[in-house]
């Protein structure tokens, strides 16, 4: 079994677009897909406001350009695209061989900062908790209780086709990486014939979906019926977001499954790299500064997590990430829902679990 180290993953996904953020469905209203750093509102058959349409986030995928002026250079962007594309191919090969550690591995070390009125000092990311985290992602992304592997649409947000559990994008190259991984496992799969076109789209950073055509949509849905393709979607999603979240949880001393879910969701939606100005690392650093420490240094985890969510919500309301000013402020209920779980003592993420705020969806049987 081969593993991708946290550092390797950092290089791999350093500059991908942040994930989309999808607004939860509201009674009597059409749900709009919300796009965090990359194009986040991935799975709802959402009505996309053209005014907000620049959500190139789909952290989902790996091509986020958080608002740093140095990144505004087209030459640097092209170079980063080349690097990212190369690393995605490496990821595909590694995942095919047997690859990423997610969910059951890399459990945080250290002791949580006390349990009085807060999170238990137990390891995060056991198999059951990981399944629940995947399903919470499905709630936030699609208003569903299980990952939506067959989802695919053109959100007209700069990402081309956005598809799968976490919204792989044809423009950014992560969809290409996933398909190449699938080719290695099943050379004659229904998506293999699109590899060259996906390569061209990734090389040019094109959001054009015309070359793939409507047949690609049908074939993606067919591929989603294959258990091997579904497993690869989970592996790539975990390698991209859960593994970096586990690394950060170990550094911060976050021990509960719910604490890890907060980091995972923040990284997935707002960026997992240290350079993401609204990302999980930045928010954790700001939380540590306000509290004068973290659970690893003795701060109560419940107190730390409440502050983390408060800081996250401020970033969502006033993001420095380009093109997120219209959609992220409307998606704060994502963070609010996670904080409500903490307020109700759901630290272990055990079923049945109700994701509240504006979602109000119950997960009775966690599954991928």
Residues classed as catalytic:
141, 157
Quick check: helix, strand or coil at residue 153? strand
Say how far apart CA 221 and CA 190 lie, in whole Å: 10
User: Is the peptide bond preceding residue 253 cis, with omega within 30 degrees of 0?
Assistant: no
Say how far apart CA 132 and CA 350 lie, in whole Å: 8
Say how far apart CA 350 and CA 103 lie, in whole Å: 15
Both tokens assigned to 210:
């015309």
Answer for the pair 158, 20: CB distance below 8 angstroms, yes or no. Answer: no
Give 168: exposed, middle or buried? Use CB within 10 Å, 0-12, 13-18, 19+. Answer: buried
Greatest Cα pair distance in the chain: 58
Say how far apart CA 252 and CA 111 lie, in whole Å: 10
Say how far apart CA 268 and CA 279 lie, in whole Å: 9
Say how far apart CA 64 and CA 31 lie, in whole Å: 24
Say how far apart CA 132 and CA 139 lie, in whole Å: 10
Handedness of CA 10, 146, 163, 28 (dihedral sign): negative
């Amino acid at each position: 079994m081969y593993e991708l180290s946290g550092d390797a993953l950092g290089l791999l996904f350093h500059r991908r677009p942040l994930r989309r953020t999808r607004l939860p469905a509201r009674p009597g209203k059409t749900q709009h897909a919300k796009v965090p750093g990359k194009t986040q509102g991935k799975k709802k058959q959402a009505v996309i406001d053209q005014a907000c349409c620049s959500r190139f986030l789909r952290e989902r995928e790996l091509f986020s350009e958080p608002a740093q002026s140095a990144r505004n250079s087209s030459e640097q962007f092209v170079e980063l695209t080349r690097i990212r594309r190369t690393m995605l191919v490496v990821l595909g090969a590694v995942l095919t061989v047997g690859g990423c550690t997610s969910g059951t591995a890399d459990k945080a070390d250290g002791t949580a900062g006390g349990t009085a009125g807060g999170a238990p000092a137990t390891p995060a990311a056991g198999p059951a908790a990981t399944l629940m985290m995947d399903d919470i992602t499905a709630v936030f992304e699609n208003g569903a209780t299980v990952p939506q592997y067959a989802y695919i649409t053109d959100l007209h947000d700069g990402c081309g086709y956005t598809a799968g559990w976490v919204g792989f994008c044809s423009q950014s190259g992560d969809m290409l990486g996933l398909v190449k991984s699938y080719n290695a496992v099943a050379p004659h799969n229904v998506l293999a014939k699109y590899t060259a076109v996906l390569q061209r789209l990734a090389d040019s950073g094109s959001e054009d979906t015309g070359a793939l055509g409507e047949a690609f949509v049908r074939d993606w849905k067919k591929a989603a019926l294959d258990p091997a393709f579904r497993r690869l979607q989970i592996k790539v999603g975990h390698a991209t977001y859960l593994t970096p979240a586990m690394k950060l949880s170990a550094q911060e001393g976050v021990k509960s499954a719910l604490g890890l879910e907060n980091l995972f969701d923040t990284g997935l939606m707002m960026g997992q790299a240290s350079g993401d100005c609204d990302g999980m690392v930045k928010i954790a650093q700001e939380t540590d500064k306000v509290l004068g420490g973290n659970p690893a240094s003795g701060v109560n985890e419940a107190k730390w997590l409440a502050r983390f969510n408060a800081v996250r919500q401020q970033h969502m309301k006033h993001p420095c990430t380009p093109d997120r000013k219209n959609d992220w402020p409307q998606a704060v209920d994502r963070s609010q829902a996670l904080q409500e779980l903490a307020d109700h003592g759901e630290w272990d993420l055990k079923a049945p679990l109700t994701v509240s705020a504006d979602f109000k969806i119950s997960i009775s049987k966690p599954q991928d």
